[in-house]
């Protein structure tokens, strides 16, 4: 995945990334989803092409979590998967790796608790090695660029491990050399976005149901006239 690069590398523009997405997925996306997706794509483009960017599975877990919650209730599962692929491919990354890594992180987290989560550095294992690598890079020994998706990934790990004590996040951030205040701030933003999204989806659902009812009433009216 994308790590360090040479000085003469010219990354794609935001417009190019957006165009790649639209070329990959040509079907219309309802505006309630499209607006947020476009915002996320711009944000992720800026993260993706930072000089210090390096893909990692916690970041992948965070993005997959955000995407799945955003697209929950999307009319078609097939389209939802196709949009995911188009989105990640537009960023010149591998959608299958995102999904596989997110699943791997989730499975690991389910077998953990608050203590074992924060004590990853004292154990061996594939996920432990990933977390140790992140910790070292975040400390300055390599490329690391903190992002909102990373914060959500951390939160998801805690959630799956049923680590509800507030101190666990403090300890995990310390073990990973991540700024806890940044994580708190980004998790607040994430919760606000989700809350607004839930409200918007409810409004959309009500609108669809109203329109459906109107159509049914209109289709019944001619029948009643014929009966007369």
Q: Which tens digits make up the pLDDT trace of 117-172?
A: 999 999 999 999 999 999 999 998 888 889 999 999 999 999 999 988 889 999 99
Q: Which tens digits make up the pLDDT trace of 14-53?
A: 999 999 999 999 999 988 888 889 999 999 999 999 988 9
- pTM, whole model, 2 decimals? 0.84
Q: Which tens digits make up the pLDDT trace of 44-99?
A: 999 999 988 999 999 999 999 999 998 888 888 999 999 999 999 999 999 999 99
Q: Phi, psi (5° rounding) for residue 81?
A: -70, -40
């Amino acid at each position: 995945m994308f790590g360090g690069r040479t000085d003469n590398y010219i990354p794609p523009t935001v417009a190019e990334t957006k165009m790649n997405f639209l070329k990959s997925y040509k079907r219309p996306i309802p505006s309630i989803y499209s607006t947020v997706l476009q915002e996320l794509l711009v944000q992720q483009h800026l993260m993706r092409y930072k000089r210090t960017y390096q893909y990692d599975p916690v970041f992948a877990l965070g993005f997959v979590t955000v995407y799945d919650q955003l697209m929950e209730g999307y009319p078609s599962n097939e389209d939802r998967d196709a949009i995911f692929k188009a989105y990640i491919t537009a960023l010149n990354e591998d959608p299958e790796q995102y999904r596989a890594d997110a699943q791997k992180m989730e499975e690991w987290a389910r077998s953990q608790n608050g203590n074992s989560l924060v004590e990853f550095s004292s154990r061996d294992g594939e996920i432990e090695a990933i977390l140790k690598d992140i910790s070292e890079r975040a400390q300055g020994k390599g490329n690391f660029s903190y992002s909102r998706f990373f914060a959500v990934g951390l939160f998801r790990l805690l959630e799956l491990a049923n680590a509800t004590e507030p101190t666990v996040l403090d300890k995990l951030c310390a073990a990973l050399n991540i700024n806890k205040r940044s994580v708190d701030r980004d998790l607040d933003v994430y919760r606000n976005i989700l809350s607004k999204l839930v409200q918007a989806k409810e409004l959309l659902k009500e609108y669809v149901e109203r329109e459906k009812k109107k159509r049914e009433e209109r289709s019944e009216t001619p029948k009643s006239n014929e009966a007369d």
